[in-house]
Structure 1
Amino acid sequence: MSGRAQTLRWRITRGLILFQIVAFVVLSVIMLGLVFHASFSGVIVSGEAGRAVAASIVRNDDGALVVRPTESLQAIREASPAFWFIVEAEDGARAMSGAPPAFALNMIDDAPRLKAMDMRSAKDDPSLTAKFERRSGPAGELVLLVGGGAFISDFKATLLLALMVIVVPVTVLILLTLAIVPAFVRRSLASILDVSRQVAQIDYDSRGRQLPSNDLPDEIVPIIEGMNEALSRLDAGIEATEQFFMNAAHELRTPIAIAQLRIDALPDGPDRDNLRQIIRRLSAMAHQLLEIERFRQGSLTHDRLDLGEILSGVVADLAPYAVARGYDLSLDKPEQPVRITGDRESLDRMIINVLQNAVQHGDGRGTIAVRLYPSGIIEVQDEGPGIPLEDRSHVFEPFYRRNPHGAGAGLGLKMVRDIAQAHGGDVAIVDGSFGATFRIRLPVQHGQSTP
C-alpha cells in the first residue's frame, strides 16, 4: 500500500478473516482425524438413493403407489443389481422393488416410530446395508427403506459431511465478512471521519477552534482531548506572538520618528539618502504590522457600498502620490453603481495597498490603470516589468519582496489577500499585454448585473 498503513476497517476485517481461517483449519484437522479414524472399508447407502426412489414413486388412477423409474433410479439399478427398496405412504399404501431382506418388512411396519436410520451389515452381505428416511415426492410424504446398493464409503461420506458443516459455512462467513464488516466499521467510525474532516480544515485563521469528542469511541476521546489541549496552547502562543509584534510596532514608531528627525538634520549626501530609505522601510513595516493586527482583531462591518465610489475616492487621494513619482493614474468604471456588502475602511486599505504596490514596482513611468467591472472585478495594471510566473505564488506571502532593496515591507499584498477573502472574494495576478495586472474579485449584491 505504498508504505501507508491500512485503514482501520480493513485491519478489523483482515483480523476477522484470519480468525475464521484459523478456526477453519482447526476444524478441518479435527474432521480429518475423524476421517482417518473411520473404517475405510465401511460403506453406507448414499442420500441420492432415497431422492431417486422418492422421485420415482407416483400414484395410478386407483390411488395405488407404482414405480416409474427416473433416470437416476435406473442408473442405480444398473450399477447395483441387488438394490432394493420399500416405500409406504401416509395412507398405508406401499410399493416395493428388488428383494428386500426379511428385517426390512418388519421395520417398515414400525415406520411411524422411526425418523431416520443408517444400517450396516455385520457380515459381508451388502443386501443388509440399508437406510431408513422420510422424503417427499410426487406421491406425497413417504417413508423409505432402501438398501443393497448405491453405496458410498465412510471416507467419502465424512468428507461430504465436512464440506457441508465446515467448508461451505466458513466460506459463506468469510464472504459475508468481506461484504458487511467494512461497511459496518465505516458507519461506526463516521464520527471519526467527521472529526478528520474538521482537522483538515484547521489553519492559521481557525484559532479558538476545538474538535468535538461526542459520539466518538472511548478509545479515541483521549486523543481528541489531547489535540484540543494542543490547539489551545497553539492559540495562546500565536496570540502572544501577535501581541508582541503589535506592541513592538507601537514601540518602534517613536524611535523611528526620532531617527527620521536626526537623519533630516544631516548634511545632504548618499549616506543620508540611504538612511532615509532604511527609515522609510522600517516605518512602512511598523505601519503595516499595525494595520494587519488591527484588521485581524477588528470585526468587519457589513455596509451596503458602491465599489465605484470607493475607487474614485482612493484614486483621487493617491493621484498626487502617483504623479509625483512619474505615473499617470486612470480610472475606468461603469456608470451604474456596483453594489457590494462590506467594510469601507478595509476595502479602502485593500485598494491603497494594490496601488502603492504598482507605484513601487512600475519603474516610475507609464500609466497605472484601474478598471472596475459590473461583476465586481477590480483590475490594477501598471506598465512596469511585470511579475515572473515563478514569483506569482509568493507575492501574497508575508514579508516576501521581489526586490530585497526596495522600500516595501512585504506585507501590503498579504493584507490585500486577507481583506478580499474576508469579503468572500479573492485576488490573483493575471496575464496582460504588458506590466503586472492584479485582479480582485468581490461578490456583488444579488440583482447586480454581470458581464
Structure 2
Amino acid sequence: MKKLRPTSLQWQLVRRLMLLQGATLFAFVGLIWLVLFLLEPRLLSDNETAVEAVAGAVSRDANGTLVLRDTKEMLEARQNYPNLWLVVRDEAGKTLRLGNIPDAYAAEELKIPWRVEYAFLRFPVYDVRPDSILANRQTAAGAVQILTSTILSRTETNGVDVTFQLSLDGTRSADGQIEWMKVGPTVALIIVAFLAPFFIVMGVTTLVVTPTVVRRALAGLVATARHAGRIDIDNRGVQLPTANVPTEIEPMVQAFNNALSRLGQGYDQRNRFLTDAAHELRTPIAILRTRAELLREDPESARLLKDIERLSHLAQQLLDRQVLDQSAGAREVVDLVEFARHLAADFAPLVLSAGYDFSFEPAASSVLVNIQPSQIQQAVTNLLRNAIDHGGGEGIISVVVDAKGGLEIHDEGPGIPDDEHERVFQPFYRLRPRNSGAGLGLNLAREIARLHGGGVEILVGPWHGARIRLQLPLWQGQAALVGGKSDLARRGS
C-alpha cells in the first residue's frame, strides 16, 4: 500500500481561501446582476440630470412661445451648475436658448435630425470644447429636442471627470425581444473577461500575501515543533511552550506534555529499579567471592573465581550505566594529556601482566577539555579493558592524545570487521560470544562521550588491529587557540 504524503496545512489554507474568494466573488457579481436586472437602476451624469430638469420645466406661454418654468429641479440645476446652457427646439423650428452657448453649438446650421432620440456629443480628447447631450422628450410644450451641457469648456472642470457607460444590445426577434440563446454565450464571455482581472489580482495577492499571513499565524506552532525536536532521553523534563500556540492546537500540546511527564516518571522508576538491583547484586557477589577464595587451589576454583569476577564486573557496569543519568559532580577544565598520562600509569601493570607491551603518545602541548573526570576515567578504563580482552594477548597497546581533543586506544589484535563497527556499541552485544566480556564497555564509553558532547568511533585504516577514538570537545579557550594556530599555519603555507 502506497504511503500517503503529508499535506501542507499552509497550502491547504491558501487553496481553500482562494476557492472561497472565487465563490464569494461569483456570488457577489451574480447578486449585483440580479439586482440590476430587477430594479434597472440608472445613474445620471450632470448633463443627463440637466436634460431631465429642462424636460420637466419646458412649457409655452399664451403666445405659444417656448419658456422654462421655475420648477424645483430647474432651480436646483441652475444653482448646482452655474455654467448651464441649453437649446430647446420644437418640430416647428421654434427655439429656446439659455446661458452662454459655446460657438460650436450656436451655429444655426447645427440641425440634428429628429430621428436621433438620444446622443452624447463629444469632441476629441485634445479639444477643449465641451461635451453635451441631446435628447428628444415629450414635455408640456409637446415634443421637443433638448441640447444641453453643464460646462462651457473642458478647462472649467476640476481634476478628472470619470464617465462610465455600459450599453448592451443583441439579436432580437420579430417582436423586439432579445434572443438570449444567441446572446447568452457572448454575454458569458463578456462577464468572464470582466471578472478575469479581479480573479488574477485576487489570486496573485492570495498566493503572495496569504502564505506570509498563515506562516506568521503558525509561527508559534512551528517554534513548538522545533522545541519538541530537542527533546531526547537525557532531556525528559522539557515541556513544550503553549504561549504562542493556536487555541485549537493547545489541547494536543498539553496532552503531549502530560505524556512526556508520564514517560519521564516511568523511565525514572525503571532506572531506580535497575540501580537498586545492581546494588543488591554486589553484596551476594562479594560474599560468593570471599567463599570461593577459601576453597583449595585447583583449576575448578580458578575458573569459579574468574566467573565471579566477570559477574562482579557486569554488575558494576550495570550500576555505572544507570548512574549516568544522575549528576556525577561538576565539570572541570582538565589537561587531557596529564589526565591520560595518569590513567596510562595506573593501567600499565595490568596491560603488561596480560602479555602486552604498553606505550603512551602525548600531544606536543597541553590539550584543555571541560569534562567530568570520573566519568571520562570510566570511559577510558572501559576502552583499555576492551583492548586487553580482545587484543590477542600480544603486541603493543597504545594510548594516543592529539591536539584536537582526541584520545585513541590502539591494539594489534584481530581488529573489528567493518560491518560490526556499529553493532559492537549496542548493549550486551559481543563480537565473539565466548569471550569474557559483558558487552557493555563500548556502549558505556559512547554514552559518556555523548553526554559530554563528543563521541566514540572505530577508525578505519591500513593498520593491523583496532583503533578506537574517544573525541571530547575542546574547552572554549583551547578551541580558540587551536583555531588561531590553524589560521597561522594556513597563512604560512
Query: Counterpart in 1 of 2:259?
Result: 230
Asked if the contact 2:135–2:145 (Cα under 8 Å) also holds between the matched residues in 1, the reply is no
How do 1:244-263 and structure 2 match up within 5 A?
244-263=273-292
Q: Give, in whole Å, the separation in 1 of the partners of 2:364 and 2:34.
A: 96
SS in 1 for 2:370: strand
Q: Secondary structure at the match of 1:297?
A: coil
More contact order relative to length (CA 8 Å, sep ≥ 6) = 1
User: Which residue, out of 105, 108, 120, partners 2:147?
Assistant: 108
Distance 1:332 1:28, change over 3 A: same
What letter is aligned with 2:397?
I
Q: Judge which range, 296-305 or 312-321, deviates more.
A: 296-305
Matched residue type, 1:6: T
Give the distance between the partners of 1:141 and 1:198, measured in 2 at CA: 58
CA contact (8 A) 1:427 1:439 kept: yes
Structure 1 unmatched ranges of 5 or more? 38-62, 67-81, 113-133
Inter-CA distance 95–224: structure 2 relative to 1 (3 Å threshold): closer
> Residue 15 of structure 2 corresponds to which residue in structure 1?
14
Question: Which of 202, 222, 227 is residue 198 of structure 1 equivalent to?
Answer: 227
Shift of 1:429: 1.0
Question: Residues 111 and 317 from structure 1, CA distance in 2 versus in 1: closer, same or farther, beyond 3 angstroms?
Answer: same
Partner AA of 1:402 in structure 2: L
Larger radius of gyration: 2
Preserved contact between residue 27 and residue 166 of structure 1 (Cα < 8 Å)? no
| One-letter identity of the residue aligned with 2:455 | D
For residue 424 of structure 2, give the secondary structure of its aligned residue in structure 1.
coil
Whether the 8 Å CA contact 1:35–1:159 is kept in 2: the answer is no
After superposition, the C-alpha distances for 1:229-282 in whole angstroms (9 at most, x for unaligned) are 111111111111111111111100111122223444556666555544432332
Partner of 2:416: 387
Looking at structure 2, the residues matched to 159 and 177 of structure 1 have their Cα atoms a distance apart, in angstroms, of 25
Q: CA deviation at 1:358?
A: 0.7
Structure 2 unaligned regions, length at least 5: 39-101, 106-116, 138-142, 171-177, 487-493
1:77-125 superposed Cα distances (whole Å, 9 cap, x missing partner): xxxxx99752389x9945799xx7866994431657xxxxxxxxxxxxx
Paired position in structure 2 for 1:439? 469
Counterpart residue identity of residue 451, structure 2: A
Alignment of 1:368-447 (within 5 A): 368-432=397-461, 433-445=463-475, 446-447=477-478
Q: Check the 8 A contact 2:234/2:325 in 1, yes or no.
A: no
Distance 1:189 1:197 in 2: 12
CA-atom RMSD in angstroms: 4.3
Identity of aligned residues (%): 33
Per the TM alignment, residue 159 of structure 1 is displaced from its structure 2 partner at its CA by 4.1
Deviations 1:349-407 (A, max 9, x none): 22211111111111111100111112222111100111112221233333332223322
Q: Does 1:86 align with 2:97?
A: no
Aligned CA distance change for structure 1 residues 254 and 141 (closer, same or farther; 3 Å): closer
Contact map agreement 1:88 1:142 (CA 8 A) in 2 = no
Q: How many angstroms apart in 2 are the aligned matches of 1:399 and 1:305?
A: 31
Q: Secondary structure at the match of 1:301?
A: coil
- What does residue range 32-431 of structure 1 map to in structure 2 within 5 Å? 86-87=121-122, 93=129, 106-109=145-148, 153=170, 155=183, 158-159=187-188, 162-163=191-192, 166-265=195-294, 272=301, 275-431=304-460
Look up the SS of the partner of 2:337 in the other structure. Answer: helix
Secondary structure, aligned partner of 1:240: helix
Assess, with a 3 A threshold, how the Cα gap between structure 1 residues 444 and 83 changes in structure 2: closer, same or farther.
same
Q: How many residue pairs get matched?
A: 388
Distance 2:168 2:154 in 1: 19
Question: Residues 28 and 162 of structure 1 are in contact (CA less than 8 Å); yes or no, is this contact kept in structure 2?
Answer: no
> Which region of structure 1 is more displaced relative to structure 2, 346-355 or 417-426?
417-426
Aligned partner of 1:42 in structure 2 is: none
Change over 3 Å in CA distance of 1:436–1:176 after alignment to 2: same
Seen in structure 2, the aligned counterparts of structure 1 residues 107 and 189 have a Cα distance that, compared at 3 Å, is farther
AA at the equivalent of 2:437: G
Asked whether the 8 Å contact 1:135–1:141 carries over to 2, the reply is: no
Amino acid at match of 2:337: G
Q: CA deviation at 1:410?
A: 2.2
Name the CA distance, whole Å, in 1 between partners of 2:36 and 2:253. Answer: 55
CA change 1:275–1:96 in 2 (3 A) is same
One-letter amino acid of the counterpart of residue 258, structure 2: E
2:80 aligns with none
* Cα distance in 2, alignment partners of residues 143 and 10 from structure 1: 40
Tell me the amino acid that sits aligned with residue 348 of structure 1. Q
Q: Please give the secondary structure, in 2, of the residue aligned with 1:109.
A: strand
SS of 2:425's partner is coil
* Distance apart, 1:444 and its partner CA: 3.0
Preserved CA contact (<8 Å) 1:354 1:412: yes
Cα distance between partner residues in 2 of 1:88 and 1:419: 93
Q: Distance in 2 between matches of 1:237 and 1:296?
A: 14
Contact kept, 8 Å, 2:399 with 2:407, in 1: the verdict is yes
Distance in 2 separating the partners of 1:338 and 1:240? 39
Q: Using the alignment, how far apart are the partners of 1:143 and 1:105 within structure 2?
A: 29
TM-score by length of 2: 0.67
Distance verdict in 2 for CA 1:260–1:211, change over 3 Å: same
